Structure 1
């Protein structure tokens, strides 16, 4: 295992400006929880915490995030988005796009975004994002957690059909030699810094790029929205980031969130 180069990560953030400060820890229960604790005692905006291993990482709805020590990219950052608070959910979308662009820049892969917060390769989950609003010292802020399956070739039994890693999807000789996690992390940080500027410039341009990478586009899906199960075909992601669904009954719905979304046959 080659550890992450903390100096290279900090240099990337310093070059981007904005006063970002990077920490790399050997192990944490959760990088997002570490930032929450930091926010409770000081202004944590601008902090980025990486962990080589997480013992209690989680995704949406408190699902556990499985990760192998020293193989993946596990980090969280604290920010105050440059848009009104009602629009803070857009951070997840802009960050998902940043993850895709960083992977495209560093590897011969074409990741896709599974609305609202997962990244897919070859029809399987390779990364997840979790955005949480926290009220800490200095006011409200967003903690954005990102977990990417990186260098692992072996997956836990039961996940092989559902998940993958960047390395598993790479061609030879990259697959055999493994990935430079620091190189990918540097690209991730650069694109995440640029995502903030994109939010300031306007969301429609972000959505145009997201739409080109939308994994669910045109697919039949089953989803759970506010406790209600729905079936239909995804026909668009609109300029506000909503999933546009044509239901089996012919009703057109625009959804800003869903507890669960699954593609189905048919």
Structure 2
């Protein structure tokens, strides 16, 4: 196992301040607790998380030293009402980082997952945090890199598994982490001025477009076919009765 190395991940041309923790409950919780004492654009990686989590407090379980578990603390350069776009841009950045490093074709499962071969390879969660200098965003990302096995019933995969090369011992997590931070910085520049073209790229990578889905929303369960994405990257659904509806949020989305 090649350990994560902050100096190998850090790119001096980018604004991120990178650190690596050996073990932490949750990188996002750690950043939220320390937010007022940390500079903006702080990124923390962990070799092991004991309380990693995703949406609805679902646990994110990963073997020590195999994958990428990180969180970023930053203030998006856009009005607050546009901050939800960060999730869309981050998912696109994850895809681009994978595509640049490996011969794989990731797909985006709205609202916050990345899939390979119909299995989850990455998830993300954006949360706001109040600091002494104002409101900031904490973005947590989990990316399965070198894990070979997953718990029974978990529909997941890793980058290494998808390469179908048993002789390959492991992928370079430091190189992948540096590429990911570069792609995140690049995509975040599109938050305000160029978001429509980002949505077009997300549309090309959508895992749900044209599919029948079941979504659990705050208003209840809905069924429909995904017709398109709107200008904010939300799903446009066609219901069985022929009417359409824009899905702006969901706790759970499944293809049926």
Q: TM-score range by the shorter chain?
A: over 0.9
Q: Among residues 232, 237, 241, which one is paired with 1:240 in the alignment?
A: 232
Q: Is the 8 A contact 1:38 1:44 kept in 2?
A: no
Q: Deviations over 1:41-100 (max 9, x none)?
A: 325421100000100000000000011000010000011111110111100100100000
Q: Which whole-Å CA distance do the structure 2 matches of 1:177 and 1:109 have between them? A: 18
RMSD: 1.2
Map of 1:34 onto structure 2: 30
1:202: how far off? Answer: 2.1
Q: Among residues 163, 166, 169, which one is paired with 2:159 in the alignment?
A: 166
Q: Is the 8 A contact 2:67 2:143 kept in 1?
A: yes
Q: Which whole-Å CA distance do the structure 2 matches of 1:209 and 1:68 have between them? A: 32
Q: Deviations over 1:107-154 (max 9, x none)?
A: 111000000000000001111000001111210011000001110111
Map of 2:3 onto structure 1: 3
Q: Among residues 137, 141, 153, which one is paired with 2:148 in the alignment?
A: 153
Q: Which whole-Å CA distance do the structure 2 matches of 1:43 and 1:126 have between them? A: 30
Q: Is the 8 A contact 1:222 1:261 kept in 2?
A: yes
Q: Is the 8 A contact 1:42 1:138 kept in 2?
A: no
Map of 1:227 onto structure 2: 219
Q: Which whole-Å CA distance do the structure 1 matches of 2:196 and 2:203 have between them? A: 10
Q: How many matched pairs? A: 256
1:250: how far off? Answer: 1.2
Map of 2:133 onto structure 1: 138
Map of 2:175 onto structure 1: 183
Structure 2 gap ranges (5+): none
- Using the size of structure 2 for normalisation, the TM-score is 0.97
Larger mean Cα displacement after TM superposition, 212-221 or 200-209: 200-209
Structure 1 gap ranges (5+): none
Q: Is the 8 A contact 1:31 1:49 kept in 2?
A: yes
- Using the size of structure 1 for normalisation, the TM-score is 0.93
Q: Is the 8 A contact 1:114 1:214 kept in 2?
A: yes
Map of 2:18 onto structure 1: 22
Q: Which whole-Å CA distance do the structure 2 matches of 1:44 and 1:65 have between them? A: 27
1:183: how far off? Answer: 1.0
Q: Which whole-Å CA distance do the structure 1 matches of 2:17 and 2:105 have between them? A: 30
1:177: how far off? Answer: 2.5
SS at match of 1:198: coil
Bigger share in helix: 1
